[in-house]
Chain A
Amino acid sequence: MSLTVHGLRPAGVESDFITAENLTAGYRDKIVWRDANFTFGRGELVAVIGPNAAGKTTLFRIMLGLQQPIGGTIKIFGAPPRRGNPKIGYVPQRHVIDSETNIEALELVRLALSGRQWGFNPFSHNDRDAALAALEAVDAMDVAHRPLGVLSGGELQRIFLAEALVSNPEILLLDEPLSNLDMRRETDLLHLVDDVVRSRGITALLIAHNINPLLPHLDKVVYVASGKVATGKPSEVLTSESLTALYGIQVEVLRDPHGNVAIIGLEEHHGDV
C-alpha cells in the first residue's frame, strides 16, 4: 500500500512537471523502495527526507536518467527521464573541493553553460555574462573571482547553485545542500533557494537530513524509509496515523510547540543535524 496526497490539481495535467506512478527503484537483486506515487507542479519546493541509505539520491538519479527504475513509470514534462536534460539543474552531494583547486568560481559557472561545446572558443563572452548573472542571482558576486579551493561551505553552495541555475533549468535537484553548514548559513541558503524557486517558477527537490529548518518553506515532502515512499503536504504525511498506516508498524511523529517534528520508530537517528 502506498500513501499519496496529490496537490489541488488532478494528476496528469499539463502543469505537472514531474509525475510518478508505482515507481520502484533498485538493482537486479535488490529493491531500494517500491510504489512511489507523486506529482510535482511548477514552482513547488519539495523536501526529500529519510534515513541514510534509504534511497533519496536514488530518486534523483532516476530523475536525471542516470539510473533506470525497475518498475512503474516516471515522467518529467510528460516524457521519461533522459540523461542531459537541459531543463534539470543538479547539485550533487559533495564533501570538499580540493583546497589546491586554484580556479576562480566564475570559470566553473561559465563552464556549466559552455562546457558541453566542443572546440576552443576563447573570445566568447556570452557565457561569461550568463555566468555573472547567475552569480548575481545567488548573491555571490563578491566571490566570483576567488579560487574555488578557498571558499567556505556556504559560499561553495551558492556557487554550486549558480552552476545549476546558469542554464535556466525548470527543475532543480539539490542533494544535501545543507550538510556542513552552520545554522545561520543553513537559514540563509534556504531563504535564497526559496526566493530563486519562487521568482523563477522552478520546481525544486531538496534532499535534507533534518526537515525542521525546511518546514516554513515547503510545499511537499517526500519521506523515504524502509523501502517505502510517502509523499504529500508535510502536515498530512508527517503524522503518526499516516506513517503507521503506510509502514504497518507503530510510528510516532512528535511535535514540539515550535512546530518541529521528530519521527520515531522507523529510524534510529532521525533529527541528528
Chain B
Amino acid sequence: MQHAFEAGTMIAVIAGVTGYFVVLRRSAFTAHAFSEMGFAGAAGAVLLAGGLLGENAPIVGLLLGSTTGGLAIAALARRATNRDTQVGIVLAFTLGLGLLFIRLYPAYATEAYSILFGQILGVSINQVLLTLVASVVILSTVAVVYRPLLFASLDEDVAEAKGMPILFLGTVFMLLVAVSVSFAVQVTGVLLIFSLMVTPAATAQYLARRPQRAIIISVAISLLATWVGLFVAFYTIYPVSFFITAIVFALYLLVRLLHQRTTWGRASSVKVGGEGVDKRNG
C-alpha cells in the first residue's frame, strides 16, 4: 500500500502537468492512442521477454510501444490538426497486435486485466524507483520547454513564423505524453487513461485562465482523486481506477455546472464598454 501511494502520488503529478498540454493541444485522442499502443508493447514484452524482464516487462513494453507510436505520429503528421487520422491508423494496427500477443500468452486473462484496468496496488519498490526517475525526467523537460511549448500550442502559425522549432516541440510533447501515459497506465489502466491525463486538466481549465495556475489545479485534482481512490479501494473490494474515474468525473461535472452558472450570470449583467454589443453582433 505504501508503494502504491508513493507511485500513485508521483504519477498524479506528472499526469496533471502533461495532461494540461494534452487538453490545450486537443490531443486527448493521441493520449488515449498512446496507452493502447503501450498495451501492445506491454503484451508483447510480457510474451517475448517476460522471463528476462520479470515484473518490469509491462512498463518496459508500455514505454517502448507508446514512445515508438509517439515518434511515428510526430513524423507522419506535422501539424496537430492533421493528426487524428494518422493516430487512428497506427492505433488500430497496434491494438490488433496487442490482442494477438495477449492471446498467445498462457496467463493472458490476468495480465490483460491488469494492463487494461490498472494494477497500482501491486507495485514493487523497484517500480516506485523507476517512476521516480521518470517523474524527474518529465518535470525537468516540461520546465525547460514550458514557454515555447505553451506558445506553440496556443498559436502554431505565429510560433512557426517566429522561427521556433515546431517539429521539435511537437516531438518533445509526444514523448512527454507517451512516457506519462505509460506510467499512468499502472494506476488507471489503458482503458481509463483519460481519468488522469484529461479530466483533471479539463476541469482546471474552467477554474483558471493562466496556464501556471491551471497546471497547479490540475495536479491538485489528480492528486486528490488518486489519494482518495487508493484510500477507499484499500478498505473496500472495489478497484482503485473506478474511484479515481468517479472522483474526477464528479469534480468535472460540478465545476462545469458552476462555471456555466457564473458565465450566464455575467452575460446577463454585462454593460461595460462595447462588450455586450460585440457579443450580439458576433
- Mark A residues whose CB is within 8 Å of B: 64-66, 82-86, 88, 90-92, 94, 98, 100-104, 107-108, 111-112, 114-122, 142-143, 145, 147, 152-155, 163-164, 182, 185
Q: Is the CB of B211 within 8 A of A115?
A: no
Collect the chain A residues with CB atoms within 8 Å of residue B211's CB: 103, 107
Contacts of A94 in B (CB 8 A): 157
CB pair A122–B212 under 8 Å, yes or no, is yes
Given A108-B155, A155-B278, the answer on whether A64 and B161 have CB atoms closer than 8 Å is yes
Residues of B within 8 A of A118 (CB): 144-145, 147-148
Cβ–Cβ contact B144 & A120, under 8 A: yes
Chain B residues, CB < 8 A from A154: 278
Contacts of A164 in B (CB 8 A): 158
Q: Does B154 contact A (CB under 8 A)?
A: yes
- 13 contacting pairs across A/B (C-beta < 8 A): A84-B161, A86-B162, A90-B158, A90-B162, A100-B205, A101-B24, A102-B206, A103-B24, A103-B154, A111-B150, A115-B162, A116-B162, A116-B164
A152-B162 contact given A102-B206, A111-B154, A119-B144, CB 8 Å threshold: no
Once the chains bind, are B143 and A120 in contact (CB under 8 Å)?
A: yes
Q: Is the CB of A115 within 8 A of B147?
A: yes
A257 CB to closest chain B CB (Å) equals 29
B93 contacts A by Cβ under 8 Å: no
Contact status A107-B209, CB under 8 Å: yes
Tell me the nearest residue of chain B to A167, going by C-beta: B162
Knowing A107-B211, A142-B273, A163-B158, say if A84 contacts B163 (CB, 8 Å): yes
Contacts of A90 in B (CB 8 A): 157-158, 161-162
B197-219: which residues lie under 8 A (CB-CB) from chain A?
A: 205-206, 209-212, 214
Residue B159 CB within 8 A of the other chain: yes
Interface size on B, residues (CB 8 A): 35
Q: Give chain A nearest CB distance to B228 CB in angstroms.
A: 26
Q: In whole angstroms, what is the CA distance A163 to B151 when docked?
A: 11
> Quick one: which of B148-195 are within 8 Å of A by CB?
148, 150-152, 154-155, 157-164
Smallest CB separation, A105 vs chain B (Å): 9
Judge whether B146 is part of the interface by a CB distance below 8 angstroms: yes
Partner of A102, one of B164, B209, B282: B209
Is B272 on the interface with A (CB-CB < 8 A)?
yes
Given A83-B163, A103-B210, answer yes or no on A119-B154 (Cβ-Cβ < 8 Å).
no
Which A residues touch B281, using CB under 8 A? Answer: 152, 182, 185
Given contacts A118-B145, A120-B144, A152-B279, contact A102 B205 (CB under 8 A): yes
Which among A86, A111, A185 is the interface contact of B151 at CB below 8 angstroms? Answer: A111
In the assembled complex, B26 has its CB within 8 A of some CB on chain A: yes
| B161 and A83 within 8 A (CB) | yes
Contact A115 B151 (CB under 8 A): yes
* CB <8 Å contact, A66 and B160: yes
CA gap between A120 and B279 in the complex, in Å: 36
Residues of A within 8 A of B278 (CB): 152, 154-155
Apart from A118-B147, A119-B143, 4 more pairs, CB < 8 Å: A82-B163, A94-B157, A103-B210, A104-B209
Residue among B155, B212, B279 facing the most chain A CB atoms (10 A cut-off):
B155
Closest to A154 in B: B278
What A residues does B272 contact at CB under 8 A?
A: 142
- The interface residues of chain B lying within 8 Å CB-to-CB of A143 are 275
A196 to B182, CA, bound (A): 50
Contacts of B159 in A (CB 8 A): 115
Report Cα–Cα, A103/B254, bound state, in Å.
20
